[in-house]
Each structure stands twice: as C-alpha cells, then as structure tokens.
Amino acid sequence: MKRKSPATRFLISLGVGAFLLIASGHVDELRAYQGAQVAIYAIAIASIVLLTGYSGQISLGHGALMAVGGYAAVIAQIHWHLPYPLTFLIGGIAGALAGYVLGIAAARLRGPYLAGTTLALAVGLPSLANQFHILGGEQGLQFDVGTAPTWVGKDFTQYRWFFWVAVVMALAIFWLLRNLLSTRYGRRWRAVRANPTAAALTGIDIAKAKVLAFTLSSAVAGLSGALFAMLLGLVAPLAFTLTLSFTLVTGAVLAGVSNLGGSIIGAIVLVAIPELSNAVATHLGGSDRVTANLPGVVTSVLLIVTVLLAPNGPKIPRRHK
C-alpha cells in the first residue's frame, strides 16, 4: 500500500463525509442517532488506539476523561456562554490537561499498574460530580447545542444535525491523527511500544513520548466526551460509567488495537451488538433480563475470543516504512 499524502487523505475524508451527510437524509431518527453514536464512539476509540496501539499504554479510565471533556464543555456553555463549537474545543483542552497530569503518573507505570490506576480514576472521577454544586450533582447539567441552523435546509431533524456535527468532527480528528501518526511523533510512539530499550538507545525520551501520547489521547477523549454530552443533551455522573470505559477498550480491541481506521469498525460493532442482540432477544421472546444482559455477554465473548485468537488485534496488512 502506498503512503497517502495529507492532501489525498483530506480528499478521501471529504468524499466519505459528503457521502455520509447525503445518506443521512434518507434514514429515520433512530438511525441518525446511531450514526452519531458511531461517529462519537469512533473518536473515543481512536483515542484508545492512539494510546494503546501506538504508545503501548493502557487506560481503563477514558470514560472518566470523556466526562472531563463533557463537563468542561457544558460549563463553558453555561458560565462563559461560548458558542457550542468552541465548547467542544474546551472539552478537548480540559481532557488534555487532565491527561497530562495523569500521563505523568502513567509514564512511571506499566501494564497492570496503569490499568488499575486508570480503573480507579474511572470509578472515582464521575462521583466527584456529586461533590461540587457547580457540577450539578446526580442530576447533571443540561447541554443545549440547539437545533440545526437554517442554512442546512428546512425540516432538518435534531439527530440528523447531531450526526452531521459528529461526522464532521470525527473526519477532522481522523485526518489530523492519521497525519500526525506518520510524522516523527508517530514513529517515536511505535518505537517506544515495540521495544522501549531500543527506543531509548536511539535517543528517544521515552517518558516524554508517553506523556505526550497520553495527553493527546486524553484531548481526543475529552472532545468525544463533549460530543457525547451533545448527543445525550446533558452531562451526569451516570452517563460516564465504568462500563463506558470498558466499552471503549472493547471497541479498540475488537477493531485491532494498532489500527486507527479500525476504530470505525469497532464503533460500528459496539453500536450494532445491542441492536442485533435485542432483535435476537425479541425473536426468542426473551424477557427484560435477556435484553438487558445479552449485549454484555456477546461483547465480552467477542472480546475474549479476539484476545485469544489474535492478541495483536486482527491481522491487517501493515505498511512498512
């Protein structure tokens, strides 16, 4: 496979975007909602792929970083009355700040320690919202992005608009990340992941590279958190559960953890599984119990099987540079 230039990638993104945006006019609200969900999950999973697949760190706490981004975006809207595109940016910046602090701790930890620490974060951080009045407690805070602007046309439904916003953001993020990963930063991260000792011998500052990867990954997670808040219309501790963090890791693993494009597949799988298993559960005449738990069982089995059969993620032809 030949390396594409940033401009080619931009054109591809543009093409995919145009196709998706036109296609969105021909589906119902539920599909538009799910489409937006896929785009947002894809961004969040990309943040894990960046972290795990490229710099070899693991995080079970990215749901918490999404919460940081989401809350920051909402607060920026409520208290600073920023227009919503800027609040997404604020979400990303807040995520980056939190990720920087966490990344300094993370660079000293490996594998299981890092997993455990980020797990504690995932459990601990959302409950902080109950502590501070400004964060709205258990009820959370409303996030109102508003309806579609008039220039996109009449009868433009709410979720279709969310889908547009999410898709445009996702394409922009993927374009940026794809280009970033083919610069020296991307190569450094891969070197750190493949062989830390050899990387250090070639003069790469491992700790610095890891902190940078963590910060950037958290920024992306924060941004996806802000988008997630837009889709839900609110931020609340219950929206950013431990399960969300686990879901993101699952999506990244299912997609092949060292493949950025795979995050889209991972996101589609994550959204499709509950849908499909619901259909199966209904077909089998299952109770609420089945409907509630079948998706979890299916994703978990997929996760275990993927890790067992292909610990490195599904085999995808890799470019050798």
Which three-class secondary structure state does DSSP give residue 103? helix
CA distances from 58 to 15, 53, 54, 210 (A): 33, 9, 10, 11
- Residues 6-65 close enough to bind another protein by CB under 8 A: 52, 56, 58, 60
> What is the token pair recorded at 144?
């109102």
Does position 113 interact with another protein (CB under 8 A)? The reply is yes
Does position 111 interact with another protein (CB under 8 A)? The reply is yes
Residue that the structure tokens 């032809």 belong to: 317
- Residues 231-250 close enough to bind another protein by CB under 8 A: 242, 246, 249-250
Q: What does 20-73 look like in DSSP terms, one character per residue? A: HHHHGGGS-HHHHHHHHHHHHHHHHHHHHIIIIIIH----S-HHHHHHHHHHHH
Does position 312 interact with another protein (CB under 8 A)? The reply is yes
- Residues 245-304 close enough to bind another protein by CB under 8 A: 246, 249-250, 253, 257, 289-290, 292-294, 296-297, 299-301, 303-304
Does position 150 interact with another protein (CB under 8 A)? The reply is no
Does position 307 interact with another protein (CB under 8 A)? The reply is yes
Per the DSSP assignment, residues forming a β-bridge with 235 are 141
| Gap between the Cα atoms of 36 and 159, Å rounded | 8
Count of chain residues binding another protein (CB under 8 A): 48
Residue that the structure tokens 């439904």 belong to: 157
Task: Give the range of 71-79, 90-98, 127-135, 266-274 binding another protein by CB under 8 A.
Answer: 127-135
CA distances from 130 to 70, 133, 139, 141, 237 (A): 15, 7, 9, 12, 8
- Residues 173-232 close enough to bind another protein by CB under 8 A: 193-194
Residues near another protein (CB under 8 A) are 52, 56, 58, 60, 105, 108-113, 115-117, 119-121, 123-125, 127-128, 130-131, 193-194, 242, 246, 249-250, 253, 257, 289-290, 292-294, 296-297, 299-301, 303-304, 307-308, 311-312
